Amino acid sequence: MDEKQHSAHTHAHGGCIFCTVIGPQVEAMLDHVWPEGTREHFRNARVEVLKGMRSMLDARIEHLSKQDAKGHKVTVE
């Protein structure tokens, strides 16, 4: 996907907040300005944000799944 297609795809489908806010032109410029270590930190940060979202969704799914259980336990002696 070239830069123009990436830009259109990001704006049409949301994309990550970093790509949407900064935009591909500025991101391309910063790729030349920022050292590789800095770029790697920001890539890792985007991954961590997505992992956090996944964790929240997993917790919510688990919570909703527990609510669907019908009945209750009765101790029989």
pLDDT digits over 25-68, tens only?
677 777 778 888 888 898 899 899 999 999 999 999 998 888 65
Q: For 23-77, give the secondary structure using H, E and C.
A: CHHHHHHHHHHCCHHHHHHHHHHHHHHHHHHHHHHHHHHHHHHHHCCCCCCCCCC
State the CB neighbour count (10 A cutoff) for residue 24. Answer: 19
Burial of 20 (0-12, 13-18, 19+ CB in 10 A): middle
CA 36 to chain centre: 22
The predicted structure's pLDDT at residue 14: 61
For residue range 4-14, list pLDDT tens digits in order: 555 555 455 56
Confidence (pLDDT) at 50: 93
Q: What is the pLDDT of residue 34?
A: 82
